[in-house]
Amino acid sequence: MLNLLWSVGAFLVAIGVLVSVHEYGHFWAARRVGVRVLRFSVGFGKPLWRRVDRHGTEFVIAALPLGGYVKMLDETEAPVPPEQLDQAFNRKPVWARMAVVAAGPIANLLLAWLLYWAMFMVGTYGQRPVVGQVAPDTPAASAGFQSGDELRAVDGRSVRTWEDAVLTLLPAAIDGRLVAVQVQTADAPGVVRERRLDLSGIDYRAEDPDVMRRLGLAWRGPRVAAQVGEVIADGAAARAGVQVGDVLLTVNDKPLADWGDWVEIVRASPEQPLRLRLRREGTELELTLTPQAVDDAGTRIGRVGLAPQPVSAQFDDYYLRLRYGPLESAGEALGKLRDMTVLTGEVIGRMLSGSASSRNISGPLSIAEFAGQSARLGAAQFLSFLGLVSLSLGLLNLLPVPVLDGGHLLYYSAELVRGRPLPERVRAAGQQIGLVALLALTVLAFYNDITRLLFRS
């Protein structure tokens, strides 16, 4: 219950901030071009708080905090007094209307940059870009990658963290092209070698978003012993009798070198009985447990409800701190905004064209869960989450779909070319198509959310 309340609270904070900034963008631009704003509402439904400023604009916080809107003076919505016609939105030149509409998404993009800037100022941690294991018969194995390789540059761009490498490889994986990766090998420190990754075999319509796993690369994290540190109540392991302190020895007679071996077998065995041999206080026991099937970003995996003993390895051997001053943080934030914009745009384009899985679309339930998880991890992680959602909101609103800001921009662009507005019947038909498309996207997002929840139950 506490986790649920935490997730809901973090979600409401996120939605409140992102919607307020988006609508403020419309409001700010409308004021600058002389449009009269009647209402600025955060949320829908019954007003909980309201105030009217000297311009006659009513500011409202409403009961249902899942959106918001800016209502402007407009003859297409209600009669306008003759003395206020020059302040009506529909009477403004096309460029002014386009500026008002575009200001919302632009505000979200600017907010994303500010959030990333704050994240780098606060400081965050990144995984050192060192390869742990290379899966056989994968693109990474064919390219000659070895355990201990430290990634230095990917596709001509230097990388400092494992996440940097992922973000650079994702667009290349989407395009299915050949990528050069510079690595420093473990057997020859100081010597940089080049590996050439052929990504043409990556099918981005697959539902597994973990590009590194599909390439066959695993991060070199702290070596975790196969000893149980926590048993989740009502999990498959608890029901089978596994206890804290048990040392896991074999699964189906296959020896376990570390906790990673155990996780790999469990993930690959949803609803398949596993014969587990373990050692408890010097005595070896054998148990049978069946991993529960859960959904992990669209992939069906197994889970048993165990966590390992805390790792005592040196933290700095596997992670590095990313923290900069104000000016350097601004540049780092701009670079991250650029990378995430390119990646998000490519993924959206691929999903629309059918070449990427629609299972990657998340709805409000998943977003609330991610909000709660990131908030629990700390300020930097929550800022990063807010930045990504703000960026996604801005880009989605720029799609040329009627009812979205991008659809209105499409109409106004046509008006610029024609010299007059599109016929009312054309705009009405576009609105209906846009509503259907938006409804379908909403249903798909909720379906994905509910499917993930059902797999976990």
**Which residues are marked as active site?**
23
16's tokens: 């409140």
Q: Which helix (H) or strand (E) holds 11?
A: helix 2-32
What distance in Å separates the CA atoms of residue 5 and residue 120, rounded to the nearest whole number? 28
Q: Which helix (H) or strand (E) holds 435?
A: helix 424-456
Indicate the SS3 state at residue 197.
Answer: strand
| Nearest residue to 42 via CA among 51, 34, 33 | 51
What distance in Å separates the CA atoms of residue 165 and residue 173, rounded to the nearest whole number? 12
Contact call for residues 191 and 185 (beta carbons, < 8 A): yes
> Phi and psi (nearest 5°) for 81?
-55, 145
Q: Given the structure tokens 């986790």, which residue do they identify? A: 3
Cα(first)–Cα(last) distance of the chain, in Å? 15
Angle formed at CA 102 by CA 97 and CA 105, multiple of 5 degrees: 155
Contact call for residues 302 and 292 (beta carbons, < 8 A): yes
93's tokens: 């030149």
Contact call for residues 357 and 349 (beta carbons, < 8 A): no
Largest separation between any pair of C-alpha atoms in the chain = 91
| Nearest residue to 213 via CA among 324, 296, 157, 330 | 296
Indicate the SS3 state at residue 255.
Answer: strand
What distance in Å separates the CA atoms of residue 202 and residue 166, rounded to the nearest whole number? 14
Side chain identity, residue 45? G
Angle formed at CA 12 by CA 9 and CA 18, multiple of 5 degrees: 140
What distance in Å separates the CA atoms of residue 370 and residue 386, rounded to the nearest whole number? 10
* Residue 333, CA distances (Å) to 294, 370, 392, 450 in order: 35, 21, 16, 34
246's tokens: 């048990």
What distance in Å separates the CA atoms of residue 92 and residue 296, rounded to the nearest whole number? 49
